[in-house]
Amino acid sequence: MSAIAEPFDAAIAESLLAFWADAGVDAMLLDEAVDRIEAGKILPPARPAAPVVPLAAAPAPRAFGGQADISGAVAQAQQLAAGAANLDALVAAIAAFEGCPLRFEGAATKAVVYRGDPKAPLLVIGEGPGADEDARGEPFVGRAGKLLDRMLAAAGLTDRVLITNTVFWRPPGNRTPTPAEQAICAPFLERIVQLVQPRMLLLAGGASAKSVLKREEGILSLRGRWFEWRSADGTLELPAMPTLHPAFLLRQPGAKKKAWSDLLTLSERLDRPERPL
């Protein structure tokens, strides 16, 4: 190869290499062909197995207060509730109770227990306190509560009700109380029923109806129907009617007709003479 051709050939070679590199070619052909089909029949040597590191056992879920479940809190609530001889004592017991996590999640220090007549023939059970209720210390005193009062008055039920909730502290952000939170407060709610001795229950909202009646259907399926509520010990049984929550009615005014029908049905049964034994 002449001295004049060498720089020319080198430039051609570099240009070709650059072309193939830009085209994505990143390997050179070997001097001898390789039968890739035959080569694929040979198993590669096994790689050494990686050492198995045992996973640490996941810690048991801690609901609150260092407990793995709510059984301890429920048992404590049952004991405190059973020891309350009247509503005032029950309010004091609930105020002293620290087993419900809602108490430590932004709610006021004072529990929201009830308002109304302690000897009322009708017990209204809502879901949980909101911001207005948390500030006032009474259930159903905000916009939804004012609507509920107007509906009760129109149905002739003013001063004939006691109003409470399934939980006694405001859930953060006014969220729906969880089944666990409701289960912890259930012994106190049942004690309210035992102390008031109402003739029937009005369950306002899906969370209340599902918790009190132990049912899974939605409120639109449950509302307007009669169910039998029974105490945990089986000594007390009362008729209960689920209805739409007043807060839902504020968002869906067209549903007020259904709630009004529920109230009329309940009022008619409440005033019906009791059958002789």
Q: 71-271 has which fold?
A: Uracil-DNA Glycosylase, subunit E (3.40.470)
pLDDT digits (tens, 9 = 90+) for 173-231: 999 999 999 999 999 999 999 999 999 999 999 999 999 999 999 999 999 999 999 99
Average pLDDT over residues 101-129: 92
**CB-CB contact of 206 with 218 (8 Å):** yes
Q: HEC profile for 115-132?
A: EECCCCCEEEEECCCCHH
- Mean pLDDT (the chain) is 85
Domain positions in the chain: 71-271
Q: How confident is the model at residue 163 (pLDDT cuts 50, 70, 90)?
A: very high
* Comparison of pLDDT for 11 and 194, the residue scoring more: 194
Average pLDDT over residues 26-40: 64
* Residue % of the chain over a pLDDT of 70: 74
- The residue ranges of DSSP E strands in 127-232, in sequence order, are 161-165, 200-204, 227-230
Kindly report the pTM of this predicted structure.
0.75
* Residue % of the chain over a pLDDT of 90: 69
- The residue ranges of DSSP E strands in the chain, in sequence order, are 115-116, 122-126, 161-165, 200-204, 227-230, 237-243
